[in-house]
Amino acid sequence: MKSLLRFSIRHPESLISGLLLAAIAILIFFEVFTRFLFGHTPSGMEEIETLFFIWFVFLGSVSATRQKGHVSIFFFVARLNPLLRQFVIVVADVLVIIFLIVFTVYGIVYTKREMLSLSAILEIPEGYFALCIPVSAFLMAVYSFLILKENLGKLFRMRKENI
């Protein structure tokens, strides 16, 4: 129980996205089960599964940002001299943050617009689907900023030590 609590505090996004995945699996299983039993599935299940899935993807991406788990090519950067390498890493971090800020801002605009339309079956505001974008882009920007801070500190230390 202690380890579960520790995991929940340390990795809240991982925990939520993981639980969303479990919920999706259970819902799909239930869908198949009811189809076998009653010949049809409760309507709107796919909408709930899609809603959970989009939140799963974007919250999972936040977790990947935090763990530096996004796929990137480090082959060329690794061949630079240490100081230049660290500088390039910082530049890449800054670019990612700029992109995520734009994504957050336009994500809010998009979500506001989507709140006005409803999903086809359950009539859930489409904005609930879109909301995951500004929320996760903002969280990714925050974590990327922390990574940038760490990398900048390293760059300054390297300059001081003249590596």
Output 16 or 157, the one with its CB closest to other proteins.
16
CA neighbours within 13 Å on the CB side: how many for 8? 6
Q: Judge contact between 94 and 87, C-beta under 8 A.
A: no
Binding residues for other proteins restricted to 104-163, rule: CB under 8 A? 106-107, 109-110, 113, 129-130, 133
Among positions 34, 44, 48, 92, the unique one binding other proteins when judged by CB under 8 A? 92
Q: How far is the CB of 152 from other proteins (least distance, A)?
A: 15
CA 96/CA 75 separation, integer angstroms: 19
Among positions 42, 43, 82, 88, the unique one binding other proteins when judged by CB under 8 A? 88
Binding residues for other proteins restricted to 20-49, rule: CB under 8 A? 20-22, 24-25, 28-29, 31-32, 46, 49
CA 163/CA 160 separation, integer angstroms: 8
Among positions 86, 89, 138, 139, the unique one binding other proteins when judged by CB under 8 A? 89
Residues 6+ apart with CB under 8 A from 132: 54, 55, 57, 58, 59
CA 88/CA 92 separation, integer angstroms: 6
How is residue 96 written in tokens? 């990612």
> What sign has the CA pseudo-torsion 37, 44, 130, 11?
negative
Binding mask 48-87 for other proteins (x = CB under 8 A): -xx--xx-xxxxxx-xx--x-xxxxxxxxx----------
Q: Which residues here bind other proteins, judged by CB under 8 A? A: 1, 3-4, 7-8, 11, 14-15, 17-22, 24-25, 28-29, 31-32, 46, 49-50, 53-54, 56-61, 63-64, 67, 69-77, 88-89, 91-92, 95-96, 98-100, 102-103, 106-107, 109-110, 113, 129-130, 133
